[in-house]
Amino acid sequence: MFELASVEYEDKRVSEEEWADMKAKPGFGQLPVLEIDGKEIPQSRAIYRYVARKHGFYPSDDWGHALVEVVLETVRDFDPEVSRFFSQTDSTKREEIRKEFIDKGSNKYLDNIEKLLKNTNGGTGWFVGEKISLADILVFYLIYDVIPSLLGKEPGTFDLSNHELLHAFMKRFKSEPKISSWLGKRPKTPF
């Protein structure tokens, strides 16, 4: 979001050694953390909602704001699947979870997300309103980074051939100059 908003920031990635030291310090002992003027905000959802409000990625009206939240909660429906997969240490069970997700899980969730996209301008624009919102950013992140990671694939390689509107959305979002630039230069780390 900082890239889209043209806001200067420092994207600090930590090594495993740095991470071990951070976990031992007071606080939540988890990442990510957003630091602003010496104050820290932990928790991904708190961070992205804060940044979205501060930099115009929420609509100004209550209805639009609620519609963004509907998309965010629909994206959040993926959380149990993702947690189940990444918390599984047994490789055989992990493959079973991956296969189950490919066979039936992904389509169920993506059908719901695509319905939400279709509700705005027939699915030919953004999820809420006429400009990019937090809803668009998180759907893109889910499909571009999270799902491929779950499937053991490279970012941006998830097949959306069964979801034409989402496929077109991903192309539209990825073609935004600031997004395209960021994808080309961002650090290559797991999501």
Give the domain ranges of the chain: 1-56, 62-185
Residue 188 confidence (pLDDT): 79
Neighbour tally for 57: CB within 10 Å: 22
pLDDT digits (tens, 9 = 90+) for 77-129: 888 888 888 888 888 988 888 888 877 777 888 999 999 999 998 999 999 99
Candidates 190, 144, 186; CA nearest to 16 is 190
Mean pLDDT of 181-188: 90
Candidates 61, 47, 51; CA nearest to 129 is 61
In contact, 151 and 102? CB cutoff 8 Å = yes
Residue 81 confidence (pLDDT): 80
Residue 107 confidence (pLDDT): 81
pLDDT digits (tens, 9 = 90+) for 118-141: 999 899 999 999 999 999 999 999
- CATH 3.40.30.10 is the classification of domain 1-56: yes
Mean pLDDT of 152-163: 91
Whether the predicted pLDDT of 191 surpasses 70: no
| Class of 62-185 in CATH | mainly alpha
Element (H, E) at 122: none
pLDDT digits (tens, 9 = 90+) for 14-46: 887 888 887 777 566 778 889 999 898 988 999
Please determine whether the domains at 1-56 and 62-185 fall in the same fold group of CATH.
no
| CA 106 from centre of chain | 15
Whether the predicted pLDDT of 177 surpasses 60: yes
